[in-house]
Amino acid sequence: MYTYIYTLTLLLEKCINKNIEVIVLDRPNPINGVDIEGNILEPKFESFIGRHPIPVRHGMTIGEVALMHQNLWIKEKINLKIIKMINWKREMYFEDTKLPWLLPSPNIARSESACTFPAIVLFEGTNLSEGRGTTQPLEIVGHPKINPFLLFSNHLFNSIKESKLEGFVLRPITFTPTFDKNHNEVCGGFQIHITNKTIFKPWRVGQLVIRELYNHLENDFKWRSPPFEYNYTQLPIDIINGSNKLRHWVEKNESVETLDSFENLKDYKLQLEEIKIY
């Protein structure tokens, strides 16, 4: 999920009962339009970073988001026109398009960052650095109290192996953010280094890493407090996840296998089939 699609759906709602045609120039989903991953957002956790009942890795283009919005999320339709892409296929990652990468955010400087985003973005809801203030934001995570090499060799390596998650390695690193969290402090942490993006499951990997660092850091790990993204009451981690259940999963130190129970995607996949335009 990302704020551009919610800016779009807010715009569509403002155009109800107005004689305005909205034209959407469609764009590629940078992490393909096939893979779907994550829990469905619960209505009570709606925010500007998650307005609708879709998973974090939703598999839609922005044009398809507009169509789903018109078909399922509002009662009155507007005059909407989608200009389709030429030659885009659902299995494509952004680099497969051969198009130049234009930053959708100052902190997503390259297409690789889009692949790790669904994992590392979780740490925006914590006191750990998600790499802002470095050259690899949203690809790395860290904290001054982490000894990355010791933690990896003593515990994380086995946790990843037991999880059976593949397509990535955690690379132990140290870094010093120049701004944002832990600025000018040396942080130990990890880069999520993708080795096979076709089998990499960023949502699951992110939940695994946040669980491990929560239990490792103990009292040095903090859930970030509100306000966050115009929400002044709910914990940021809960609005990022679109649920408080995953925070409880972390706190209870539950197994990766139990994440299956959060991914109730059957109805969503049926809805997606109805609005696909590619």
pLDDT in tens, the chain (278 residues): 568 999 999 999 999 999 999 999 999 999 999 999 999 999 999 999 999 999 999 999 999 999 999 999 998 999 999 999 999 999 999 999 999 999 988 899 899 999 999 999 999 999 999 999 999 999 999 999 999 999 999 999 999 999 999 999 999 999 999 999 999 999 999 999 999 999 999 999 999 999 999 999 999 999 999 999 889 999 999 999 999 999 999 999 999 999 999 999 999 999 999 999 99
Give the DSSP H/E element, type plus range, for residue 13. Answer: helix 3-14
C-alpha 161 chain-centroid distance: 23
Give the DSSP H/E element, type plus range, for residue 158. Answer: helix 157-163
Backbone dihedral region for residue 59 (phi beyond 0: left; psi -120 to 50: alpha; all else: beta): left
Cα dihedral across residues 11, 17, 21, 27: positive or negative:
positive
DSSP E strand stretches across the chain: 21-25, 79-83, 140-143, 168-175, 187-194
CA distance 9 to 244: 24
What are the φ/ψ torsions at residue 230 (nearest 5 degrees)? 70, 10
Note the pLDDT of residue 129.
98
Contacts of 200 (CB under 8 A, 6+ apart): 115, 166, 167, 168, 194
Give the DSSP H/E element, type plus range, for residue 218. Answer: none
Note the pLDDT of residue 3.
82
Do residues 45 and 244 lie in contact, with contact meaning Cβ atoms separated by under 8 Å? yes
Q: Give strand pairing partners of 82.
A: 24
The residue with tokens 């306000």 is 227
> Tokens in use for 200?
């990499």
Radius of gyration of the CA atoms of the chain, in A: 19
Within 10 A of 17 (CB to CB), how many other CB atoms are there?
8
